[in-house]
Structure 1
Amino acid sequence: VRGDEDEAAEAHAHPQPPYAFSSGDELLRLCREHGLEMFELVLANECAWASEAQVRARLLHIWQVMQACVERGFRQTGLLPGVLKVRRRAPRLYRQLTESGTVRPLDVMDWVNAYALAVNEENAAGGRVVTAPTNGAAGIVPAVLHYYRRFESGANDDGVIRFLLVAAAMGMLYKKNASISGAEMGCQGEVGVACSMAAAGLVAALQGTNEQIENAAEIGMEHNLGLTCDPVAGLVQIPCIERNAMGAVKAVNAARLAMRGDGSHKVSLDQVIATMRQTGADMSTIYKETSQGGLAVNVPEC
């Protein structure tokens, strides 16, 4: 027989979030019903386990680790470990951008590329990265966050917190309703998910509507559907490092497309997640992290 005290003790030991959701539609509905911005809802859920001050501090710590990773990636030179002898490119690109006497419109894209390359070159060398949502796709979220802080007027730590809370919510939806594993979904489950997370996070940081956030997340995945995972020599270098740069640029573009609209669109986030899951299930195993197909068999290892 369980009494009120037993139930109270269990509730204290296993707190429940006030706004539980398992789909994009549920998330949007809860936001509408309670008059909340998406980041506010996710923050309230996180506060079931920690105080708001603790949650904010931990999110900013994640951002600090991302910044430190990029800084290391810009400093380190030479070849990455492994038989491919891939040379780091982030330091040279960083030097070119900082030493250039002119500012061209597309330099912003070069900076996004540099941030992503720096992180994934660090990952390939065994450096410390933030798993977002995987190590192989770890460059996209920090690259887009760096873009936000460097190039968007009014960017601040509150925007970083909004970004990370919403990006995390998107990651939860993919993990619950599909997968974030390249071995199960191909690279659409890694770079595709990271692109979707970063696009949604950027819209949140820029104070877009909940509908625009959901739209950005959908765009970020829709145009990564079917992306294969075929690492040459089994190393997270080719095509993985460049692919993160491409995914980061795509995330910024997805966010901008969504921000230019009113949030209404034909394909929902839930539909694109279901499509990604089915595509991954249908994809041959040779294209899912086994290095038995694609670039992995057509590019010599040395």
Structure 2
Amino acid sequence: MDYSSIAIKVFEIESQAVLDLSKKLNSDFDRSIRKIIDTSGRVIICGMGKSGIIGKKIAATLASTGTPSFFMHPGEAFHGDLGMVTSNDVFIAISNSGETDEVLKLIPFLKDNGNFIISLTGSPSSTLALSSDSHLNVGVSEEACPLKLAPTSSTTATLAMGDALAVTLMKARNFQPENFARFHPGGSLGRRLLSRVSDEMYSENLPFIDSSASSSELISVMTEGRLGIAIVQDANCMAIVTDGDVRRSIEIYNEKFFSKRVSDLMTSNPQCISSTARVEDALVLMEASSITTLLVTEGSDIVGVFKK
């Protein structure tokens, strides 16, 4: 049995199912987007079984991209969780058949509550589709499952429609990386965009040295500082000596290296950044300059060292 050929067939069937969604889009998609944007409430997503699992992912994607959203299990909803639904909320109900009993039982409450109902089904003529204010057709011509029973293409299509909603809403709201980072403060993007240089700089026992100091003193200061640099801040000079500068100087001067002064080895006017700048700005500057260290300033004073 050629297992790879089976996998390839699955990819072909499911990718075609996603491509076919574009042919099914109509004015209901635009109406859904406008309603979600205009609502002062949240987006509540509901589904049973595999549709529920897909619904949880869609809710998570919406929530992390600027649309307040959460998933509600239809069974729990029917036994008290409907109390979390306000009249301003938009309700997205997912059911491939459009006849899932647990979901349909919620319709009378939602209508009486004044909720705008968006349904994702594979059947525009289903009870759920006809009961909704907007219907998004996620029907597929075939499941990738060889028995045509397990939800495969249909769940992929539903997930893709959820992504289409989320991305469209992002663009409509001009959602920026900074906004995304606010909802992901623990990730690398959050660090880059939300943290300030002052949050991550080294500021204790900075390795300052006078420009007239000897190379031996320089090595001692750099060793004690443990930052791989020494900082020069004389009355009329701001400079830096890195461990790379020391290595290159040793190659150039050989035994004469120890007769040199810091002024012979330092790099004047090094790259600096304000302590209030974002970490993102610091990293961009370092990448553009092909360096791994920045001096951090407050006014004319060096107050820290930021390292990549």
Higher helix share: 1
Task: State which structure, 1 or 2, has the greater radius of gyration over its C-alpha atoms.
Answer: 2
- The TM-score range, normalised by the shorter chain, is under 0.3
Give TM-score, length-normalised by structure 1: 0.22
TM-score (norm 2): 0.22
More strand by share: 2
